[in-house]
Amino acid sequence: MSGSVGQPIDRVDGPAKVGGKARYAADFRPSGVVYGAIVTAAIAKGRIAALDTTAAEAIPGVISVIHHGNAPQLAYAPMDPRPIVDPKTGEALRVFQNDQVLFAGQPIALVVAEEPEQAIQAAALVRASYAVGNAASDFSHASLEARPPEESRHPGGKPGALRRGDADAAFAAATRRVDASYEQPAEFHCAIELHGTIARWDHDHLTLWDKTQWVDNDRTEMAHVFGIPDDNVRVISPFVGGAFGSALRSWPHVAAAALASLLVNRPVELVLTRRQQFSSVGYRPRTVQRVRLGADDNGRLTAVIHEAVAQTSAYEEYAEMVIEPPAMLYSTPTLRADYRLAPMNVNTPCPMRAPGIVTGTLALELAMDELAEACDLDPLRLRLLNYAERDENKNLPWSSKSLRQCYAIGAERFGWSRRPSAPASRRDGHWLVGYGMASAVYPAHRAPATAHAELRADGTASVTSAASDMGPGTYTSMTQVAADELGLPINAVQFELGDSLMPPAPVHGGSMTMASVGSAVQAACRALRAKALDLEHPNRLPQDRGAMQQAYARLLARHRLDCLTAETEAMPDDAAGRFSMYAFGAVFAEVRVDAELGEIRVPRLLGVYAAGRIVNPKTARSQCIGGMVGGLGMALTERGQWDDRFGKIMNASLADYLVPVNADVQSIEALFVPEEDPWVNPLGVKGVGEIALVGVAPAILNAIHNATGRRIRSLPATLEKVMGC
Amino acid sequence: MLPFTYSRPRNIGEAATAGAQPGTEFIAGGTDLLPLLKEGVRRANRLVDINDLPLGGIRHEAAGVRLGALTRMSDAADDERLRRDYPAVVEALLAGASPQLRNLATVGGNLLQHTRCLYFHDAAMPCNKRQPGSGCPAWDGQNRGNAILGGSRACIATHASDLAVALVALEARVVLGARHGEREVPLADFHRLPGDTPQIETVLEPGEVITAIFVPAAPYSRRSTYVKLRDRASFEWALTSAAAALDLAGDTIRQARVAVGGVATKPWRLPKVEEALAGARADRSIFHAAAELAAQGAEPRQFNAFKVELMKRAIVRALADAGSLA
Ligand SMILES: Cc1cc2nc3c(=O)[nH]c(=O)nc-3n(C[C@H](O)[C@H](O)[C@H](O)COP(=O)(O)OP(=O)(O)OC[C@H]3O[C@@H](n4cnc5c(N)ncnc54)[C@H](O)[C@@H]3O)c2cc1C
């Protein structure tokens, strides 16, 4: 029986999406639904002195204007332990519970009306006056008071410091040195689907149709907000139109929609505006990183010093693993890495594709390119010289690592040997041409997950788990795993997700859905098949997939069963304590820079990834090229344009916050190195969602240096920076 | 967004009467206007849809070409003669917006599109153009996209159109229709400098409609080109752009036309640069020397100072490109 795992199967949900049948949160229409529109704070810090809602209430169709002056106090029961998607310290924002303003764009009122246009019009008429406080809006200023994350003091908290040997002394003694600072602006997820929630109460039961990457946690958080049992809340989210991390947490607007529904006693739909996406849900925090690398004359690292400062909000500490890559990507006898947070009057940042890892790798890989120049070495050669044969951070062997193969195949395919050896030495008409490369890395996580599998009377199977599919192809890959285990053709298996009534699944983030939910689907289907085999002698079951469906149907009929079910929880074993588990990759970029006008184009991008087993090369490739396009945006166009005076992002629209468009993307290729990893999880997968973003921006910036001789140390690399004016 | 009434007049007279009422906006393709209405940046309670007016069509004449105001950008860009006789116009059209938008957007609406100043677009911010007297936060704020030429303390918002830059270089005229007939205004005089009244952007009288754009056929029109610089390869307004047109006798420049975009508060013709080129040899050193004059009077702010240099280089590139046209 040839497996479907490993085959480039078309998306099973493709026709539904293309045909407009896939329903996203705001597509549901519970009867009697009314519409909310949020009013946001115009100041970054202070108190609401007065809210005048008279004009808003006079708009025809307006049902209610909800704000701190009339909202009930909600339970907001603490969650213990906190879900992994919430910061470990601080207090999540509570909607309409007091008069405090903590950041510009904070929801301060919600208008509910019969029609969305009425709500929007009325929201613009709510007049707030404020007692204005002294906001912390200047990042450089806030950085001066940055401190290690509070959570670093607790077990499991992200570290504020990593040490190996005396890095400062080793750096001082090094004969080749790099000392540079790199700046990254706040970046925004910009998924096409706007965040939206529909809330409906039936007595003391709450149903939410929500854009979320984790229905189970959304349920639990809302149960805590309203002080009701988890079982009284149901969250439905069958399709997510891109999220990239922005829908991991339950943001305040979710509670606001539920509160409004409670108060007006109707289902309430609340969709954030595009502008509100920039202040009501999180973003990748602004970061500055100083990196010092010391090496001997042969290019062997002797010291890595990495100091990162990132912004967080004034009410929560959002911490990331920025200092993990410098601690494990290369072999170094000494290391000092420090990570500090600068609180500001902003909404709390949140994970955005490859959180922390992409940030730390960016600075490290830019610095490695500078070190290659300082050592007069080819950048790829420098990386090979400092190849880490084991994880020196965790002091563990790798479960598998095929980075060398990624480098070799990438260099071959890309034609790395034709890299201009001196900066600014190759010209084609107006264009300066350069090559650059960088390494990529992302940890392979896994969490417990449960799946339910069922054989139906007609011999087809249905499998469920409360997972999510924000685009990578969860529906498809899970169907493949289930089909293989049950010996059924793809079209005889239906996988369903996105409902908190289904068996629990972990968060759809951190590239661990395939590893976690996939393992559960595999285990449940295996158990189900075993049950079937218990009923029937194995010899009587066919090898052929088409025949298998009939065989199951006959079997159920013979035993007078409507269905046969199995439910299994798949738990990570102790391998993570014995091995360090990461996916690795190598990214190569060709860049062209207009010698006079500074315009930058990227004609070629190649990513080569070793990420364990690839369940579906087609969806995996799509995911990778999507991630690489994200990296292109990070390198060249994306940034929040922050105004210190108002404490807000000014380019809060898709016309002004620039993500790459088709014309920016020319040749882009993702390849996978075959890799077997017996330790990561039963499927042997590591996940590709995040790693595809890592390494792209530094490869491009390194190529810009190769093309022009100019080091750009602050993102994005815009034309005035390459022109140096 | 305010509730609005909607009407669809069939002739200019009706349109002009309806359009003259306070709180009225004309709507053509709606690609500029609708987002502004939705975000409360423009506030109208009457929309007058002009799509039933007989203002379409491209007419080539000996003296020039007449583009009806309702000509879709994509139709103009696809016009073979326009491409041959006024290449800068077609290049500017194709460099603007996206194919989908160009299918809907009209050339008349393009000239009247609103600035991309970030503060104008955020209805919660002060902005003298949107709300006279409220101040100009762009002056000391995120002004990378703002103007270095033609600004005032009250406003440094750029005029965002690409098309208008090519047209102003080619000395286009705008035909305006009102209740009692038509008048013609040189495009160079159509938009106003912000001064103390940045909310008044053009010389249009209340109710007046753009009926057509006329581009004269001049010796330099065929040798014209448009260079546009931006952060991404498509779907973005110009950070800086330059249109150039040359009338050459051998390698001597008889006359030149040069205009720049993305750097000025209105489509910006550069007569001093043109004068410096007239009678000179068409070579790079001359182009460089002439382009230096473009920056006279430039008033850069914190984040747009690079445009002074970028603009000069864009002009040189456009002149070189025009010079090398067959
Ligand atoms: C995302 C995006 C990117 C864009 N990028 C570019 C770009 O790169 N370069 C570029 O040049 N443009 C760009 N544009 C602007 C686009 O070209 C304009 O929106 C379009 O040309 C406007 O034409 P319209 O017919 O849709 O105008 P409308 O939106 O209908 O009208 C615009 C304004 O003109 C008025 N108006 C329209 N027609 C007339 C008339 N005949 N007489 C009197 N008043 C009239 C309206 O009242 C309104 O105030 C972009 C637009 C968007 C949305």
According to DSSP, residue B118 is labeled H
pLDDT tens, N- to C-terminus, chain B (326 residues): 889 999 999 999 999 999 999 999 999 999 999 999 999 999 999 999 999 999 999 999 999 999 999 999 999 999 999 999 999 999 999 999 999 999 999 999 999 999 999 999 999 999 999 999 999 999 999 999 999 999 999 999 999 999 999 999 999 999 999 998 999 999 999 999 999 999 999 999 999 999 999 999 999 999 999 999 999 999 999 999 999 999 999 999 999 999 999 999 999 999 999 999 999 999 999 999 999 999 999 999 999 999 999 999 999 999 999 999 76
> Does the model's pTM come out above 0.90?
yes
**Side chain identity at residue B42, one-letter code:** R
Residues near A560 by beta carbon (within 8 Å), at least 6 away in sequence: none
Q: Which residues sit opposite A183 in a β-bridge? A: A288, A714
d(CA A398, CA A388): 10
Instruction: Supply φ then ψ for residue A641, to 5 degrees.
Output: -90, 105
String of DSSP letters for B231-252 = SSSSSS--SEEEEEEEEEETTE
- Interface predicted TM-score (ipTM): 0.97
d(CA B324, CA B278): 17
> Does B289 contact ligand 1 (Cβ within 6 A)?
no
Atom index in ligand 1 nearest the CA of residue B163 equals 11
How close is the nearest chain B Cα to the Cα of A646, in Å?
Answer: 9
Q: Are B163 and B122 in contact (CB under 8 A)?
A: no
Nearest Cα residue in chain A from B237: A655
d(CA A151, CA A87): 9
- Phi-psi label, residue A245: left if phi above 0, alpha if psi -120 to 50, beta otherwise: left
HEC string of A311-358 equals EEECCEECCCCCCHHHHHCECCCCEEEEEEEEEECCCCCCCCCCCCHH
pLDDT of residue A426: 98
Nearest-by-Cβ selection for B233 from A121, A601, A642? A601
d(CA A287, CA A186): 8
Side-chain half-sphere of A424: how many Cα atoms within 13 Å? 9
Indicate the pairing of strand A648-649 with strand A642-643.
antiparallel
Interchain pair B233, A663: CB under 8 A? yes
How close is the nearest chain B Cα to the Cα of A667, in Å?
Answer: 14
Nearest-by-Cβ selection for B229 from A42, A597, A655? A597
How far, in Å, are A351, A671, B128, B152, B217 from residue B196 at the CA level? 45, 59, 9, 7, 36
Q: How far is CA A707 from the centre of its chain?
A: 31
> Does B101 contact ligand 1 (Cβ within 6 A)?
yes
Which helix (H) or strand (E) is A132 found in, with range?
A: strand A127-132
**Side chain identity at residue B30, one-letter code:** G
- Four-residue CA torsion sign, A549, A550, A554, A557: positive
Interchain pair A596, B317: CB under 8 A? yes
Query: Model confidence over B47-74: pLDDT tens digits?
Result: 999 999 999 999 999 999 999 999 999 9
In A665-718, DSSP assigns E strands to 667-672
Query: Model confidence over A133-169: pLDDT tens digits?
Result: 999 999 999 999 999 999 999 888 999 999 999 999 9
> Does B49 contact ligand 1 (Cβ within 6 A)?
no
* B contact set with A (CB within 8 A): 1-3, 38-40, 98, 116, 118-119, 121-125, 137, 140-142, 144, 227, 229-236, 239, 305-306, 309-310, 313-314, 316-317
Q: How far is CA A274 from the centre of its chain?
A: 19
> Does B30 contact ligand 1 (Cβ within 6 A)?
yes
CB pairs under 8 A between A and B: 90
> Does B16 contact ligand 1 (Cβ within 6 A)?
no
Find the radius of gyration of the CA atoms of chain B.
Answer: 19
Q: What distance in angstroms lies between residue B14's CA and the mean position of ligand 1's atoms?
A: 22
- What pLDDT band is residue A1 in, cutting at 50, 70 and 90? very low
